[in-house]
A and B are shown apart, each in its own frame.
Chain A
């Protein structure tokens, strides 16, 4: 009985988190040939959001931001998502760690 109750609660929890995850506003970022498109991404401050990063290649890319504490290695042709937690208004820099000279971008939370 107790087990059943646990699984119900756990199931609800899963459903709930899945629902929350699905409702996240999603922004897209393109990494291409060592460049980041767009270089400035505007997002609302104080809300969770998802960033869908696509590496069109050629070549691998690494989305990295020490400030935002994110790191994501992308082989060419790969798309992966990052979930960001509510940010204070401000400008946050990120870069392509495999192309530090050309791949610099920033997220502006307003």
Chain B
């Protein structure tokens, strides 16, 4: 029961956090409510995708389709990282414009593409970790331990929801500039973690060379094989023993983001 709670909490936290941050942001920047609708459509689509992906993970056993699935999962990581980054920059630009003119007369097309982005980001956030949750819960149902299944899973979902709600609520209390800045930083750190995970997967699959591996070992400081360490690794991209390729990719990500950030600030 305790384990079920922890696993479900951890697996669903990312999706709830992304949804919570987006919701908090839309609360201040989306008078029409279209963005929120896009967010909920995305979340619902994500649940469907998670079930589909979970089913695929359940049925696939042979190596060839295993590799295809692996490639697909790596792809979703990359797309999610890219889209979240792009969305943060879009939010930054829009937040400024909306502040400048109270009537947000952005072009309809720009607004629409932004909301599609919100929906896709939400869907991917739910689908990725949701698929693993599906398998985990399926496994528990096979054990026949329905009490622990329902209790642990519900408590886990509720816990993740509460964590994200708390984060969104405390974000929403801040003034709009600080809200925008903090939620952007949170989302970018999360996107960088997804990017690092994708690069690691590519190295693990042999599609990228690690070059030097590991560059250093900080497992004495934070050990990423422990429960808490893994959580930090999942959400920040921390690695106790990073490969040089991973390190360079991480640095490149932040350099590109930094440059784009400054650009949107000026424009």
A→B interface (CB under 8 Å):
21, 34, 57-62, 65-71, 73-76, 78-81, 83, 85, 93-95, 97-101, 104
Contacts and interface: CB of A to CB of B under 8 A. Distances in A.
Bin chain B's interface residue count: 35 or more
Interface stretch (B100-108, B130-138, B153-161): B130-138
A22 B82 CA distance: 37
Contact of B200 (A59, A62, A69, A79): A69
Nearest to A60: B139
B240 A60 contact: no
B132 A73 contact: yes
B167 interface: no
Specify the main secondary structure of chain B where it touches its partner: helix
Contacts of A73: 57, 131-132, 135
Contacts of A66: 200, 224-225, 230, 233, 239-241
Given A100-B227, A101-B227, A80 B66 contact: yes
Contacts, number: 85
A18 to B, nearest CB: 10
A36 B66 CA distance: 22
Which 9 A-B pairs have CB atoms at the shortest separation, nearest pair first? Answer: A60-B139, A69-B204, A58-B143, A59-B139, A69-B200, A75-B58, A60-B135, A93-B225, A100-B227
A60 B136 contact: yes
A57 to B, nearest CB: 6
Nearest to B227: A100
A41 to B, nearest CB: 15
